[in-house]
A and B are shown apart, each in its own frame.
Chain A
């Protein structure tokens, strides 16, 4: 009897919303440092979307649009980018956001200890303040991906006063010019931000407070949404979509990710690669032909994904349409293996211990078996896998890349010879030359042609087998409206509101 009453009270407590104007967002992971310079995780970017405005932003079609910079212009030689800044923008501490602050932030990204932005901003040689609202980035050479880089953390401008005062501790109380200001953070529990009254675009903001709650388990995250503990969840499990689709209390938004899911193959020619049958390009082709990408997406993602074969998805403007994904062809795969003189090739497929990676690995294993492949799965902890990958100590590796808006940033560091993330150990001078050329080509049409040529090489050499692109699935209360589904899967709060 008493227990029943307690249960009733608890049920009531659970049903009450915390506050009408607080938005509660469930994150799939706990973010790392909340400092745009040192931040490293994807999930952190979701929180930054409320804290720190960027020089530029992305729209639903991956077009780069103004944010803190109202307009920009490349110099004729492509070696300088001049940006006009939005007037009357204030930081959370009341300081003015001007050209000097932009110069400070970019330089801070490039210099502070532990910065994760050094590589992205490497082509920026210096920053000139032309007038209080005009700033120019001088580059060592033309660098087409730069504007895309500025739509991410490298383009976030921090308050110089606060950054100087807090130094290394800036991440404990970040001060930027976003719509919300930092209130508190309890590690692994929550991050709270509140409305910034002097935000330059305050008309678009409809919440007093936003609370980010990291909840790793997708089922639990969803249960919290359903019970009303959360208003919004990111990265919903694909298998949960059918259960929620017909529930009118909730809405689901999907966007094809900017990154990819694939298999990196060790073709570095080192000892390990020498022993692997995959050193032969025909065997790699046979492996690809043994895979049924549609079935992979169907099984691994419950159909929530897009089949692909390139570093950008087929829906991306930079996709090379003339080279679609090959269909499964076991006969041809067997013939290729015969040609290569290996009828029963055996290799080890390294995969993380997460169930996503394991699922892909097991599906690949089962499919490749039909062509005669003997695939051994080696489940490897994340930290170990990265090290082995870095030292090229693997045959093949199930890899996911969360993606960046510019195609170059999905490609360059993975296939340019000797780049740190070139785990395949791929070195093709022609591809390297094309990559160098693509980076300095500002004109999109010309650049697309270069990417097509690159695809011509890499889809044949197969250092990476691109398999599919996941849907980012976000679910939220039907009371919310105004969400823009941008493929970078950040939760933009501008325009979002309770009905």
Chain B
């Protein structure tokens, strides 16, 4: 991004753009809170086997839908499993779904977007038409159809969400490339006879990364919700393995007599999504000083 280079030039002290971006990030309390929460959930997910008080899939016929108590802080579910343990383990599915599906989107979307933006002409035409077509189908519907096509499982939900979210990344990358490719340093690189691949990887890609990072962080938030939505419709993580979305799917049948089953997983989704949103906002402000 050109903006970073310009801003760097205006500063009196010499500091790398990344360093300065980090400084701006740290100044934003919201972003730090978001980051802290994300780290918290990551720790929860990684350390689930040690933190969780019970086995998340251990059932107990005498503990069906018991309200929160000293033994079971978040209560128990419809077949007597500890909700707290399931919420802790469920962080794995949600984080995994968020991160992996966005990685899929990036892995497909960025090269295609680079190609479309850099090569232009009919490549761009063809890619843009397909992107438009995919964007014209509502995101969740596309994801539902894909997930149904692939069969219900966490992996397939991640693939479905990843593919459905790809066009947004193609579009963003392409737009960034279009604005970067006319910059002097790219022209210069071309003039000295660098290969296309080298120009794209060395000169263009690093300069389109900042907005991609921001978009990716926000996309993780959207993907976490999307995974929960698919699981809510029965197309995501499969039982007995816990996922917040599928916990909500079951819980909705008992809202009246076991509301705790719905409250905690929902709250967890909310907090995790909130954290990624805060982090994404902070990153955007840090990487693009013109914003906000």
Stretch of A26-34, A259-267, A359-367 contacting B (4+ beta carbons < 8 Å):
A359-367
Residues of chain A from 370 to 390 with CB closer than 8 A to chain B in the complex:
377-381, 384
Q: Is the CB of A239 within 8 A of B254?
A: yes
CB distance from B263 to the nearest CB of A (A): 15
CB distance from A373 to the nearest CB of B (A): 14
Nearest neighbor of A302 in chain B, beta-carbon distance? B64
Q: Is the CB of A239 within 8 A of B253?
A: yes
Q: Is the CB of A299 within 8 A of B79?
A: yes
Q: Is the CB of B239 within 8 A of A366?
A: no
Q: Point out the residues of chain A lying under 8 angstroms from B254, CB to CB.
A: 219, 237, 239
Q: Is the CB of A366 within 8 A of B79?
A: yes
Stretch of A44-52, A85-93, A308-316, A350-358 contacting B (4+ beta carbons < 8 Å):
A350-358
| Chain A to chain B: the 10 pairs with minimum beta-carbon distance, closest first | A353-B234, A366-B59, A379-B238, A295-B61, A362-B240, A355-B250, A219-B255, A358-B239, A379-B152, A362-B239
Contact bitstring A235-256, B, C-beta under 8 A = 1, else 0: 0010110110000000000000
Known: A243-B256, A366-B59. Contact between A377 and B239, CB under 8 A? yes
- CA A381 – CA B148 in complex, angstroms? 8
Q: Is the CB of B240 within 8 A of A359?
A: no
Residues of chain B from 220 to 270 with CB closer than 8 A to chain A in the complex:
234-235, 238-240, 249-250, 252-258
Residue B65 is within 8 A (CB to CB) of chain A in the complex: yes
- CA A218 – CA B253 in complex, angstroms? 7
A residues neighboring B (CB under 8 Å): 217-219, 222-223, 237, 239-240, 242-243, 292, 295, 298-299, 353-355, 358-359, 361-363, 365-366, 377-381, 384
Q: Is the CB of B257 within 8 A of A243?
A: yes
Tier of interface size on chain B: 20 to 34
Residue B9 is within 8 A (CB to CB) of chain A in the complex: no
- CA A61 – CA B208 in complex, angstroms? 75
Contact of B249 among A355, A365, A380 (CB under 8 A): A355
Nearest neighbor of B250 in chain A, beta-carbon distance? A355
Known: A359-B79, A362-B79. Contact between A353 and B256, CB under 8 A? no
- CA A84 – CA B57 in complex, angstroms? 60
Known: A237-B253, A243-B257, A355-B249. Contact between A298 and B61, CB under 8 A? yes
- CA A377 – CA B257 in complex, angstroms? 27
- CA A299 – CA B253 in complex, angstroms? 14
B residues neighboring A (CB under 8 Å): 57-59, 61, 64-65, 78-80, 148, 151-152, 234-235, 238-240, 249-250, 252-258
* Other A-B pairs beyond A217-B252, A299-B79, A363-B59, 4, CB < 8 Å: A242-B257, A298-B61, A299-B64, A359-B250
CB distance from B166 to the nearest CB of A (A): 24
Q: Is the CB of A380 within 8 A of B256?
A: no
- CA A486 – CA B88 in complex, angstroms? 46
Q: Is the CB of B79 within 8 A of A219?
A: no
Q: Point out the residues of chain B lying under 8 angstroms from A381, CB to CB.
A: 148, 151-152, 234-235
- CA A223 – CA B148 in complex, angstroms? 31
CB distance from A120 to the nearest CB of B (A): 32
Q: Is the CB of A299 within 8 A of B80?
A: yes
Q: Is the CB of A362 within 8 A of B59?
A: yes
Nearest neighbor of B249 in chain A, beta-carbon distance? A355
Q: Is the CB of B253 within 8 A of A361?
A: no
Q: Is the CB of A222 within 8 A of B239?
A: no
Q: Is the CB of B152 within 8 A of A380?
A: yes
Q: Point out the residues of chain A lying under 8 angstroms from B234, CB to CB.
A: 353-354, 379, 381
Contact of B256 among A240, A354, A362, A377 (CB under 8 A): A240
Q: Is the CB of B239 within 8 A of A219?
A: no
Nearest neighbor of A365 in chain B, beta-carbon distance? B240
- CA A298 – CA B78 in complex, angstroms? 11
Nearest neighbor of A244 in chain B, beta-carbon distance? B256
Q: Point out the residues of chain A lying under 8 angstroms from B239, CB to CB.
A: 358, 361-362, 377, 379
Q: Is the CB of A377 within 8 A of B240?
A: yes
CB distance from A31 to the nearest CB of B (A): 22
Q: Point out the residues of chain B lying under 8 angstroms from A295, CB to CB.
A: 61
Q: Is the CB of A363 within 8 A of B253?
A: no
CB distance from B284 to the nearest CB of A (A): 35
Q: Point out the residues of chain A lying under 8 angstroms from B235, CB to CB.
A: 353, 381
CB distance from B256 to the nearest CB of A (A): 6
- CA A248 – CA B78 in complex, angstroms? 27
- CA A421 – CA B80 in complex, angstroms? 35
- CA A72 – CA B87 in complex, angstroms? 62
- CA A340 – CA B285 in complex, angstroms? 67
- CA A222 – CA B78 in complex, angstroms? 19
- CA A40 – CA B40 in complex, angstroms? 51
- CA A366 – CA B64 in complex, angstroms? 14
Q: Point out the residues of chain A lying under 8 angstroms from B79, CB to CB.
A: 299, 359, 362-363, 366
Q: Point out the residues of chain A lying under 8 angstroms from B253, CB to CB.
A: 218-219, 237, 239, 355
- CA A217 – CA B248 in complex, angstroms? 13
A-B contact pairs, 5 of them (CB 8 A): A223-B256, A243-B256, A355-B249, A358-B239, A381-B152
Known: A239-B254, A299-B61. Contact between A377 and B238, CB under 8 A? yes
Q: Point out the residues of chain A lying under 8 angstroms from B80, CB to CB.
A: 299
Q: Point out the residues of chain B lying under 8 angstroms from A237, CB to CB.
A: 253-254
- CA A290 – CA B64 in complex, angstroms? 20
Q: Is the CB of A219 within 8 A of B256?
A: yes
Known: A239-B65, A240-B257, A299-B64. Contact between A219 and B238, CB under 8 A? no
Q: Point out the residues of chain B lying under 8 angstroms from A219, CB to CB.
A: 252-256
CB distance from A475 to the nearest CB of B (A): 13
CB distance from A57 to the nearest CB of B (A): 33
CB distance from A222 to the nearest CB of B (A): 7
CB distance from A201 to the nearest CB of B (A): 39
- CA A366 – CA B79 in complex, angstroms? 10
Nearest neighbor of B65 in chain A, beta-carbon distance? A239
CB distance from A304 to the nearest CB of B (A): 13
- CA A240 – CA B253 in complex, angstroms? 9
- CA A237 – CA B251 in complex, angstroms? 13
Nearest neighbor of A352 in chain B, beta-carbon distance? B234
Q: Point out the residues of chain A lying under 8 angstroms from B252, CB to CB.
A: 217, 219
Q: Point out the residues of chain B lying under 8 angstroms from A363, CB to CB.
A: 59, 79
Q: Is the CB of B257 within 8 A of A239?
A: yes
- CA A460 – CA B80 in complex, angstroms? 32
- CA A366 – CA B178 in complex, angstroms? 57
- CA A222 – CA B80 in complex, angstroms? 24
Q: Point out the residues of chain B lying under 8 angstroms from A354, CB to CB.
A: 234
Nearest neighbor of B238 in chain A, beta-carbon distance? A379
- CA A361 – CA B257 in complex, angstroms? 23
Q: Point out the residues of chain A lying under 8 angstroms from B238, CB to CB.
A: 377-379
Contact of A384 among B65, B78, B151, B255 (CB under 8 A): B151
CB distance from B67 to the nearest CB of A (A): 14
CB distance from A465 to the nearest CB of B (A): 19
- CA A218 – CA B148 in complex, angstroms? 24
- CA A295 – CA B258 in complex, angstroms? 20
- CA A59 – CA B258 in complex, angstroms? 37
Nearest neighbor of B233 in chain A, beta-carbon distance? A353
- CA A379 – CA B80 in complex, angstroms? 20
Q: Point out the residues of chain B lying under 8 angstroms from A223, CB to CB.
A: 256
